[in-house]
């Protein structure tokens, strides 16, 4: 039986020497040294030998098995390396080529507009003042000169909490009262950016939440001409000099007199198109002189101080500037839209 074992080992070595593929090497392993291979099977027959021959046979059989296992490992290393090299050559892998481009995020179009607005007003000496999103009815309406039965106080226009005196702010104007009470009696030059919330039907032109940037200036001797000059300077910086603007009389409870500012349509240059509804003008913000009642509620004497305020929507400015027709795109998280900016 020992001679048979030697012959089997010699046969296994001869076959192993001619192998050059991993699948045939795996088959060789199963045939000779695997759990059901021929070498282990001969080891199991050691009981057929006379008692005196068993130790020598078992020792030699284990030795041959170890030698074949070592030869198998060495052969596997050679074959794997050769196959890897062949695969790389077949794939023509050029390690000097640049990798695939990494997908990069970008600023939301509203954020881009907001940052531009911040920079312009900072250059004009206005600082950013941030107010709270959750307000009281008193701050959101009463102190801003809204009459008790104004439609904006109704639940169909405002998000109220379980406490009827607490709500999500419908505009950033409550920040006017807070900043006046904080800075009184010093002059004020601030912008108040933030998110606003209104209980409206979601359409191409309206959303339940949107950004707003409010502006407030309070001091002695401030006139409506100061407001106009400041806003014209702002539009020159935002849209470029030479873009025609106009002011129209309007009404807001917290300003008197009040106005709306229009800019000449970017797409048709005032000739009239679908975007401007063939008017040639686009409304960009509301403004006016701070109402005396609002000044009093903020702690300033309207006989000594005056001021102006304005409010604009970054989403609307972005829509007008780029000809975007649906405000819902801003909240849709659609990369096809966002990657255009």
- Note down pLDDT in tens along the chain; length 341 residues: 677 778 878 888 888 888 888 899 889 888 888 888 887 887 777 777 788 777 777 788 788 888 888 888 998 999 888 888 887 777 666 778 888 888 888 899 999 999 999 999 999 999 999 999 999 999 999 999 998 887 767 766 889 999 989 999 999 999 999 999 999 999 999 999 999 999 888 887 788 899 999 999 999 999 999 999 999 999 999 988 888 999 999 999 999 999 999 998 877 888 888 777 888 898 999 999 999 999 999 999 999 999 999 999 999 888 888 878 888 888 888 888 888 88
- The answer on 195 and 225 residing in a single domain is yes
- The answer on 151 and 122 residing in a single domain is yes
Query: What distance in Å separates the CA atoms of residue 311 and residue 209, rounded to the nearest whole number?
Result: 15
In this structure, is residue 325 part of a structural domain? Answer: yes
In this structure, is residue 99 part of a structural domain? Answer: no
> What pLDDT shows up at residue 141?
93
> What pLDDT shows up at residue 325?
82
Q: Which residues of 15-40 are buried (b: 16+ CB within 10 A; e: fewer)?
A: ebeebeeeeebeebbeebbeeebbbe
Q: In the chain, count H helices and then E strands.
A: 11, 9
121 vs 26, 165, 253, CA distance in Å?
A: 75, 33, 25
Give me 194's structure tokens: 């933030």
Contact 196, 210 (CB under 8 A): yes
Contacts of 106 (CB under 8 A, 6+ apart): 338, 339, 341
- The answer on 125 and 87 residing in a single domain is no
- The answer on 121 and 65 residing in a single domain is no
- The answer on 207 and 121 residing in a single domain is yes
In this structure, is residue 9 part of a structural domain? Answer: yes
Three-state DSSP class for residue 321: helix
- The answer on 211 and 307 residing in a single domain is yes
> What pLDDT shows up at residue 216?
98
- The answer on 34 and 131 residing in a single domain is no
Which domain does 48 fall in, by range? Answer: 2-91
Picking from 59, 91, 123, the residue at the C-terminal end of a domain is 91
Q: Name residue 246's beta-bridge partners.
A: 262
Task: Answer yes or no: pTM beyond 0.75.
Answer: no
DSSP element (H, E) containing 166: strand 166-168
- The answer on 286 and 181 residing in a single domain is yes
In this structure, is residue 334 part of a structural domain? Answer: yes
Give me 240's structure tokens: 């470029």
In this structure, is residue 100 part of a structural domain? Answer: no
- The answer on 305 and 228 residing in a single domain is yes
Outline where 124-202 has alpha helix (H): 137-140, 174-183
> What pLDDT shows up at residue 293?
96
Three-state DSSP class for residue 160: strand
Q: Kind of pairing, strands 255-264 and 281-290?
A: antiparallel
- The answer on 208 and 308 residing in a single domain is yes
Picking from 91, 117, 133, the residue at the C-terminal end of a domain is 91
Picking from 23, 58, 91, the residue at the C-terminal end of a domain is 91
- The answer on 258 and 172 residing in a single domain is yes
184 vs 94, 188, 225, 295, CA distance in Å?
A: 69, 8, 24, 10
The domain tally of the chain equals 2
Query: What distance in Å separates the CA atoms of residue 5 and residue 38, rounded to the nearest whole number?
Result: 9
CATH number at residue 190: 3.30.930.10
In this structure, is residue 225 part of a structural domain? Answer: yes
> What pLDDT shows up at residue 1?
67
> What pLDDT shows up at residue 92?
63
């Amino acid at each position: 039986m020992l001679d048979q074992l030697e012959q089997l080992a010699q046969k296994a070595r001869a076959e192993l020497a001619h192998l050059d593929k991993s699948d045939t090497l795996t088959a060789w392993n199963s045939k000779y040294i695997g759990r059901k291979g021929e070498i282990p099977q001969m080891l199991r027959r050691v009981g057929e030998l006379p008692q005196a021959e068993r130790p020598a046979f078992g020792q030699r059989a284990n030795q041959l098995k170890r030698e074949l296992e070592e030869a198998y490992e060495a052969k596997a290393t050679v074959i794997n390396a050769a196959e890897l090299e062949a695969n790389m050559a077949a794939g023509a892998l050029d390690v000097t080529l640049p990798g695939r481009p990494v997908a990069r995020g970008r600023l939301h179009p509203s954020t881009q507009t907001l940052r531009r607005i911040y920079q312009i007003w900072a250059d004009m000496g206005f600082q950013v003042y941030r107010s709270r999103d959750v307000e009281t009815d008193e701050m959101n309406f009463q102190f801003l000169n809204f009459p008790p039965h104004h439609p904006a106080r109704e639940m169909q226009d405002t998000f109220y909490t379980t406490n009827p005196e607490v709500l999500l702010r419908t505009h950033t104007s409550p920040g006017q009262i807070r900043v006046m009470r904080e800075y009184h009696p010093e002059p004020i030059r601030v912008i108040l950016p933030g998110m606003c919330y209104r209980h409206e039907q979601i359409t191409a032109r309206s959303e339940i939440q949107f950004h707003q940037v409010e502006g407030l200036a309070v001091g002695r001797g401030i006139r409506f001409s100061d407001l106009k000059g400041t806003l014209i300077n702002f539009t020159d910086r935002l849209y470029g000099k030479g873009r025609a603007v106009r002011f129209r009389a309007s009404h807001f409870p917290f300003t008197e007199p009040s106005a709306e500012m229009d800019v000449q349509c970017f797409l048709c240059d005032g000739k009239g198109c679908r975007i401007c509804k063939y008017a040639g003008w686009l409304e960009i913000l509301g403004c006016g002189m701070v109402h005396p009642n609002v000044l009093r509620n903020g702690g300033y004497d309207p006989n000594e101080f005056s001021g102006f305020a304005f409010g604009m929507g970054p989403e609307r400015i972005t829509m007008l500037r780029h000809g975007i027709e649906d405000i819902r795109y801003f909240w849709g998280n659609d990369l096809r839209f966002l990657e255009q900016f």
